[in-house]
Structure 1
Amino acid sequence: MLNGQIIKGIGGFYYVDTDNGLYECRARGIFRKQNITPLVGDRVSMSVVDEETKKGVVEDIDKRDTELIRPPIANVDKALIVFAVKNPKPNLSLLDRFIVLAEKEHLEIVIILTKADLDDRNELEEIQKIYELSGYKVIPVSNKTKLNIDKVKDELKNSVVVFAGPSGVGKSSLLNEIDKNFKLQTGEVSEKIKRGKHTTRHAELLKLECGGMVADTPGFSSLTLDDISEYDLKDFFIEFDDFDGCRFGSRCIHEKEPSCAVKEAVENGEIPKKRYESYLQLLNEIRQGKRRY
């Protein structure tokens, strides 16, 4: 038996990276009976079927530290959430959805703002101010000017990192800039709709020269919060934690309750108003979703 990690999965084949090299594996049929699907990032035990052709079978899957649904990757340490300053225009509500789902999985979060060289309306400064005030590290980057490429490399070292964000923001281009060994396909942004064309078709862990691994994942246009309740959503807006003096304590969902410390913090500018508005929007969406069932 060999131990390794699944770094790619395509069409029922799982590519397991081990100390003896990379093996193309099928998974045991028992996983299907147990309704278990191996994921990229899974730490596994495998048996060798043919050493010469590097064929094997995934026999066992270790317990997962984390599990993301979209993108479907296990055992990620950190989420680098990538949005462009311009072209396409940043959708902060979508950014907050990515943040909520990453917080739910207890991932360390870093926000990467690409195409900083295109910022001609000071939008970068505004977005950076919102999310730094909320407690997140924000790194503006530019492939063109090489701005902060080294800072992104530092975030990747010795970690398993998911690169997540919508299409067209430059995830693959940034990865190609970070590691010259990468030749990832990149897609131009449609001039008509200002959205990126999907270029990444499957999740895959890529080894980095600077150490660690990064997941290059498909871009998404929407993320649902189906498994988050209206009472739990507040737990994933980390800036709310600093204001726990609500009259109703932990039962307060910071919406219509009187004497709410979070609402007071919004009024005083201690919590960004746009983040609070995003929270209310997602709260309403969760409620509407529950009413459909």
Structure 2
Amino acid sequence: MTEFKQKGRDSLKNGRIIKALSGFYYIQSEDGKIYQTKPRGIFRKRNESPLVGDEVKFSASAITEGTLEEISQRSNQLTRPTVANVDIGVIIMSLKDPDFSTSLLDRYLVSLEQHHIQPVIWITKTDLADEKEYEKVKVHADYYRKIGYEVILPERDKVLEQVEVEDLFGSMITKRLAVFLGQSGAGKSTLLNRLDANLQLKIGETSKSLGRGRHTTRHVELVPLLGGLIADTPGFSAIEFDDIAAADLAVCFPEIWETGRECRFKGCVHQNEPNCAVKTAVNKGTIAQHRYDHYLSILEEIQNRKPRYGKKRGS
């Protein structure tokens, strides 16, 4: 019996979930084929939900007749967008319409840092800004570079051509899963479609070979691009921090974490404690005031949140 089970396991295919829709999970196998599958009942009994991005094992008698059998351990998972095993998060921030917001940017950064996802900040719509507006955002961009973040800020009055965007992104995304984050109107779709003029069509329809036709429901889907996978998601700006402990928040602010090592008291959260190295650095200007203010705002949000119970894996 054990030998039979092992043979059955050896016959399973390896793949990654690239889309979840209407109870079906679409899995791209190692040879590039896409299979339509339904999950085994055991996942429901375990209170587990497969996620887009999951590396899985599955069986299939045909392209449209497959069963999702096993989910490999995840390196991370985001809840908004709902996707697992993300390598890089590209934060799309517009300079204008909507206006650049360090508060929103820092919330995106924390959401990536807590899951150990490499952030990249891409500032769009620079061609809409006047010189004063551009220089103000450039100061912010220089600060974020200083504390270790990759920031892409095109020149004012310049719209990047497709080849320029590909050069900037190519080495980052190859063989990696990237999520694009950004509020509605920030230029995320425009940027993606500049990378591939047919991308919008690819996202908007399901392969006819799967017999599913077109869908208007917005959903997370992984799209092959530049040798990697891109998760295109609806724009959003509401970000919650349900899984971060107050004592761990500073880790998501690199300069605050590093400076906090010098605090007099172990466990200092840089709020009301005396002899706090972080507050001293803010007063000296070595830590930006807006970063510290945003840290305190999120810290208070965490301290005042109500406990949540019964959260299932993948929810």
Length-normalised TM-score, structure 2: 0.82
* Aligned-pair CA distance for 1:168: 1.2
Determine helix, strand or coil for the equivalent of 1:24.
Answer: strand
Determine helix, strand or coil for the equivalent of 1:232.
Answer: helix
**Paired position in structure 2 for 1:31:** 43
The gaps in structure 2 that reach 5 residues or longer are 1-11, 204-215, 310-315
Q: Which has the larger radius of gyration?
A: 2
Q: Following the alignment from structure 1 to structure 2, what is the Cα–Cα distance between the partners of residues 20 and 214?
A: 15
Conserved in 2, the CA contact under 8 Å of 1:133 and 1:271? no
Conserved in 1, the CA contact under 8 Å of 2:126 and 2:158? no
Does residue 204 (structure 1) correspond to residue 221 (structure 2)? The answer is: yes
Conserved in 2, the CA contact under 8 Å of 1:246 and 1:259? yes
* Aligned-pair CA distance for 1:95: 1.6
**Paired position in structure 2 for 1:274:** 290
* Aligned-pair CA distance for 1:20: 5.7
* Aligned-pair CA distance for 1:67: 1.0
Determine helix, strand or coil for the equivalent of 1:14.
Answer: strand
**Paired position in structure 2 for 1:192:** none
Q: Following the alignment from structure 1 to structure 2, what is the Cα–Cα distance between the partners of residues 200 and 266?
A: 46
Does residue 108 (structure 1) correspond to residue 118 (structure 2)? The answer is: yes
Conserved in 2, the CA contact under 8 Å of 1:176 and 1:184? no
Does residue 7 (structure 1) correspond to residue 18 (structure 2)? The answer is: yes
**Paired position in structure 1 for 2:236:** 220
Q: Taking structure 1 as reference, are residues 115 and 281 closer, same or farther at Cα in structure 2, changes over 3 Å only?
A: same
Conserved in 1, the CA contact under 8 Å of 2:245 and 2:302? yes
* Backbone CA RMSD of aligned residues: 2.4
Q: Following the alignment from structure 1 to structure 2, what is the Cα–Cα distance between the partners of residues 224 and 242?
A: 24
Counterparts of residues 120-199 of structure 1 (less than 5 Å): 120=130, 121-122=133-134, 123-141=136-154, 145-146=159-160, 149=165, 150-183=167-200
Does residue 67 (structure 1) correspond to residue 83 (structure 2)? The answer is: no
Residue-pair matches, total: 277
Which amino acid in structure 2 is aligned with residue 69 of structure 1? T
Determine helix, strand or coil for the equivalent of 1:154.
Answer: helix
Determine helix, strand or coil for the equivalent of 2:200.
Answer: coil
Which amino acid in structure 1 is aligned with residue 159 of structure 2? T
Determine helix, strand or coil for the equivalent of 1:183.
Answer: helix
Q: Taking structure 1 as reference, are residues 60 and 267 closer, same or farther at Cα in structure 2, changes over 3 Å only?
A: same
Q: Following the alignment from structure 2 to structure 1, what is the Cα–Cα distance between the partners of residues 41 and 115?
A: 28
**Paired position in structure 2 for 1:287:** 303
Q: Taking structure 1 as reference, are residues 241 and 205 closer, same or farther at Cα in structure 2, changes over 3 Å only?
A: same
Identity of aligned residues (%): 44
Determine helix, strand or coil for the equivalent of 1:174.
Answer: helix
